[in-house]
């Protein structure tokens, strides 16, 4: 049986000396130093993680060059699928990232600004490596297209850019369907409202996206422990659950998370 995937994620930036370092934050802000990317990747490779996600959160072109070298080093240590995201805007960026050792690329802003990037990327490299990532934010006004009830209130989800700092007016569910029809192979669903809170994934958001598309959905943001993974698999229908801080700070191991899920009947790779 196809298993639900447990995916650790690292956000990598350059430290004061220009060396790559992993940071963990809350609501995409207040970042704190967490560790060395290659060492962390190595540890996760051996921990039973099902995939590994590497997000380059540097903004500069200089940072990008450095990051491709780090991706190289990470790829040498990781024998599970590796997804790399951050700053990918052209098919050349996709090519470079895959060549550096990524199996898939995660694209957020680049696809919102130029949706054809999804078609071009899927055509050149295959849908399996094009992951479209959305940074969704709850909105309780009347500007959306698809609404769900949250605590008795009507809510829609907006695609944001720049880590939630900039709205786009685009409805996440519209965008998810469009991305799928353009050839996206997976959807990576982040929630600005839940990021770093550890009070659970945004279940209404994840469920709405899962219902809107046939493509595999990776739930992200808000995981505080194995029970949140359980909820997002059983209530929202996610195919994979991503988490950062609970694994980075050793609050839970991948193995104990999987055992918890296995005992409750969720198929996982043990």
Q: Per-residue string for binding with another protein, 88-107, x by CB under 8 A? A: ----------xxxxxx----
Pick from 13, 186, 193, 202: which binds another protein (CB under 8 A)?
186
> What does DSSP assign to residue 115?
T
Q: Is 135 a catalytic residue?
A: yes
Strands (E), the chain: 5-14, 20-26, 29-35, 52-56, 82-85, 104-107, 130-139, 148-150, 153-161, 166-171, 186-191, 217-219, 240-243
Q: How far is the CB of 112 from another protein (least distance, A)?
A: 23
Pick from 37, 144, 163, 185: which binds another protein (CB under 8 A)?
185
Residues numbered 136 to 175 that lie near another protein (CB under 8 A) are none
Question: If we measure between CA atoms, which residue out of 183, 136, 141, 178 comes closest to residue 157?
Answer: 136
For tokens 């997002």, the residue is 232
Closer to another protein by CB, 167 or 183: give it: 183
For the chain, report the end-to-end CA distance as a whole number of angstroms.
13
Pick from 111, 129, 170, 187: which binds another protein (CB under 8 A)?
129
Q: What is residue 54's three-state secondary structure?
A: strand
Stretch that binds another protein, among 14-22, 60-68, 73-81, 158-166 (CB under 8 A): 73-81
Q: Residue 3, exposed/middle/buried by CB under 10 A (0-12, 13-18, 19+)? A: middle
239 binding another protein? (CB under 8 A): yes
Q: Is 228 a catalytic residue?
A: no
**252 Cβ contact list (under 8 Å, min separation 6):** 225, 226, 246
Other CB atoms within 10 Å distance of the CB of residue 46: 11
Question: If we measure between CA atoms, which residue out of 266, 190, 262 comes closest to residue 223?
Answer: 190
1 binding another protein? (CB under 8 A): yes
Pick from 35, 81, 167, 225: which binds another protein (CB under 8 A)?
81
| Contact present, 64 and 55 (Cβ < 8 Å) | no
75 binding another protein? (CB under 8 A): yes
Q: How far is the CB of 60 from another protein (least distance, A)?
A: 25
Pick from 215, 220, 221, 257: which binds another protein (CB under 8 A)?
215
Is residue 95 within a helix (H) or strand (E), and if so which, with residue range? helix 91-99
Q: How far is the CB of 102 from another protein (least distance, A)?
A: 7
85 binding another protein? (CB under 8 A): no
Closer to another protein by CB, 9 or 159: give it: 9
Catalytic residue list: 11, 135
Binding site for another protein (CB under 8 A): 1-3, 5, 45, 50, 72, 75-76, 78-82, 98-103, 125-129, 185-186, 214-216, 239-240, 269
């Amino acid at each position: 049986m196809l298993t639900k995937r447990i995916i650790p994620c690292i956000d990598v930036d350059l430290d004061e000396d220009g060396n790559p370092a992993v940071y963990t934050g809350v609501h995409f802000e207040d970042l704190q130093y967490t560790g060395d990317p290659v060492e962390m990747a190595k540890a996760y490779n051996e921990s039973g993680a099902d995939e590994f996600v590497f997000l380059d959160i540097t903004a500069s072109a200089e940072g990008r060059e450095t990051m491709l070298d780090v991706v190289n080093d990470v790829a040498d240590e990781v024998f599970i699928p590796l997804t790399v995201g951050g700053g990918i805007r052209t098919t050349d960026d996709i090519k470079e990232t895959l060549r550096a050792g990524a199996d898939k690329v995660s694209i957020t802003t680049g696809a919102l600004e130029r949706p054809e990037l999804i078609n071009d990327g899927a055509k050149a490299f295959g849908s399996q490596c094009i992951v479209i990532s959305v940074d969704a934010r709850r909105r309780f006004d009347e500007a959306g297209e698809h609404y769900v009830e949250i605590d008795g209130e009507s809510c829609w989800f907006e695609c944001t850019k720049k880590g939630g700092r900039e709205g786009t007016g685009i409805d996440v569910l519209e965008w998810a369907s469009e991305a799928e029809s353009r050839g996206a192979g997976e959807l990576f669903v982040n929630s600005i409202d839940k990021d770093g809170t550890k009070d659970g994934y945004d279940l209404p958001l994840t469920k709405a996206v899962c219902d809107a598309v046939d493509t595999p959905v990776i739930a992200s943001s808000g995981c505080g422990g194995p029970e949140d993974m359980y909820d997002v698999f059983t209530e929202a229908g996610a195919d994979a659950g991503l988490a950062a801080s609970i694994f980075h700070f050793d609050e839970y191991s991948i193995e104990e998370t999987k055992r918890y899920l296995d005992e409750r009947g969720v198929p996982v790779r043990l």
